[in-house]
Chains A and B, each alone.
Chain A
Amino acid sequence: MIRDFLDSLSESIERLGDTVRFLARILAQVPSALLRPQLIFDQIYNAGALSLVIIMLSGLFVGMVLGLQGYDLLQRFGSEDALGTAAAIGLVRELGPVVTALLFAGRAGTALASEIGLMRATDQLSAMEMMAVDPVRRVVVPRFVGGVIAMPLLAAIFSMIGIYGAQLVGVQVMHVDAGSFWSQMQASVELRDVNEGIVKSVVFGIACSLIAVYQGYHSEPTAEGVGTATTRTVVTSAVIVLFLDYLITAFFLK
């Protein structure tokens, strides 16, 4: 049993090292991939514009729930005017980047992994290699760069919609004063808070995109392999995102 555990441990470490090497390989190809921006634009569309609806809907509901819960908590202390601050800080610093990353892994990450995995299974990647086209440069890098660009923009949209959702519930339903909602928010949210959110969403974008393209590229060339790659993408992304979230938060609180 201990042997099994050690085996799986060494396998995980091996996979981590392999992922990092894959990242280095992608980064080395980024400049040459930028010479064909059309491929990247297509991927920004796939990863970003197509995820817009789910991101906006989720942002609205998360913001509305935050408005309700925040109001209920704050009115116990008689400080429901601070609802704007609570909602904005919660969304911009934490919920925006994290929930967007989880949704991004589910919506765009799985699409990337299964697409590349299917290319592997149907020998399209090998065909490219035969034509002396590097599949990493032609297929993997544009998808990675597109995901990294799309993720921070999605997180910003999520936070913005969420703040309006909280405002909708707080001001329209619970009758918090609209003036104090916004002015307290502007008085206590600092640029540092927004920066934290942006840093988080960029890091999560890199992590989620890397995991998705790695799992797709290294999937077993079978129908089952593609399914496993897709599942692994979601599971690994979720765990890594939450782990990195803790690290970055602790770093910014210093």
Chain B
Amino acid sequence: MRKSRALNLGTGLFVLLGFAALFFLTTQTTSHGLSFGSEPYYVVTAKFRDIGDLKVGAPVSMAGVQVGRVAAIGFDSQDFKAVVTMRIDDKFNQIPTDSSANIYTQGLLGGQYIGLSPGGAETYLKNHGEITFTNSALVLEKLIGQFLANFNKSSSTSGSSGGSPK
């Protein structure tokens, strides 16, 4: 009987350790598992002309601090724009309605994220609100294309942000 108790103890310890490892993998290596009941959040949408390489789950940040995540990416067939749905943490519920959303790139080869720049309005974004001022992702190929087009025509007033060569 004593032998079987030691055996059960070993089995129990092994199973506990195994589940502890599973728990570690799901909570510590990923960012999703940490919040169990999912923190309270509100949803904001924004329409972009071009979202480049933005992915679902990409961070939404303000002044470099992460305030939420991209929850869904859709397409509006009326005005041919990408509709990005963002989940913003309830802690950050004082974002002015006239804030603008921009798509930036992390580092040279990093993924893309949404940066919010605050506006000056007194009213704040509510659940299912929309950010109207948006700037598209900077797509490198387009930029080079514009630059080359400008360079060939050597007309400096094409209204592009690609830099006009002198």
Residue-wise interface mask of B (1-31) relative to A, using a CB-CB cutoff of 8 A (1 in contact, 0 not): 0001001101101110111011011101111
- Contact A79:B13 (CB < 8 A) given known A154-B18, A160-B25, A194-B25: no
A153 touches B29 (CB 8 A): no
A42 touches B30 (CB 8 A): no
- Tell me the minimal C-beta distance from B63 to chain A in angstroms: 18
A45 touches B14 (CB 8 A): yes
- Contact A194:B14 (CB < 8 A) given known A79-B109, A157-B21: no
Residue-wise interface mask of B (119-140) relative to A, using a CB-CB cutoff of 8 A (1 in contact, 0 not): 0000000000000000000000
Residues of A within 8 A of B32 (CB): 190-191
Q: How far is the CA of A44 from the CA of B13 in the complex (A)?
A: 11
Q: Which of B126-156 contact A (CB under 8 A)?
A: none
B29 touches A189 (CB 8 A): yes
User: For the complex, is A186 an interface residue (Cβ under 8 Å from B)?
Assistant: yes
Residues of A within 8 A of B59 (CB): 187
Q: How far is the CA of A49 from the CA of B14 in the complex (A)?
A: 5
User: For the complex, is B163 an interface residue (Cβ under 8 Å from A)?
Assistant: no
Q: Which of B100-128 contact A (CB under 8 A)?
A: 107, 109
Q: How far is the CA of A150 from the CA of B26 in the complex (A)?
A: 18
- Contact A198:B22 (CB < 8 A) given known A186-B29, A190-B57: yes
Residues of B within 8 A of A191 (CB): 26, 30, 32-33
- Contact A190:B7 (CB < 8 A) given known A44-B15, A48-B18, A49-B13: no
- Contact A49:B19 (CB < 8 A) given known A189-B29, A197-B25: no
B18 touches A156 (CB 8 A): yes
User: For the complex, is A119 an interface residue (Cβ under 8 Å from B)?
Assistant: no
| Interchain CB contact (< 8 A) of B31 among A149, A187, A197 | A187
Total chain A interface residues with beta-carbon distance under 8 A: 33
- Contact A194:B21 (CB < 8 A) given known A41-B11, A45-B7, A48-B14: no
User: For the complex, is A60 an interface residue (Cβ under 8 Å from B)?
Assistant: no
Q: How far is the CA of A130 from the CA of B2 in the complex (A)?
A: 31
Residues of B within 8 A of A99 (CB): none
Q: How far is the CA of A79 from the CA of B10 in the complex (A)?
A: 43
Q: How far is the CA of A165 from the CA of B121 in the complex (A)?
A: 51
Q: How far is the CA of A52 from the CA of B20 in the complex (A)?
A: 14
- Which partner residue on chain A sits nearest B33 by CB separation? A191
Residues of A within 8 A of B15 (CB): 44, 48, 149, 153
Residues of B within 8 A of A159 (CB): 21, 25
| Interchain CB contact (< 8 A) of B18 among A77, A153, A187 | A153
- Which partner residue on chain A sits nearest B7 by CB separation? A45
| Interchain CB contact (< 8 A) of B30 among A152, A163, A194 | A194
- Contact A45:B11 (CB < 8 A) given known A153-B18, A156-B21, A191-B30: yes
A41 touches B8 (CB 8 A): yes
B18 touches A157 (CB 8 A): yes
Binding site for B on A (CB under 8 A): 38, 41-42, 44-45, 48-49, 52, 77, 79, 88, 92, 149-150, 152-154, 156-157, 159-160, 163, 182, 185-187, 189-191, 193-194, 197-198
Q: Would you list 25 pairs from A and B whose C-beta atoms are within 8 A, ordered by A residue?
A: A42-B11, A44-B11, A45-B8, A45-B10, A45-B11, A49-B10, A49-B13, A52-B14, A77-B109, A92-B29, A150-B18, A152-B18, A152-B22, A153-B14, A153-B21, A157-B21, A160-B21, A160-B24, A160-B25, A186-B29, A186-B30, A190-B57, A191-B33, A194-B25, A194-B29
Binding site for A on B (CB under 8 A): 4, 7-8, 10-11, 13-15, 17-19, 21-22, 24-26, 28-33, 57, 59, 107, 109
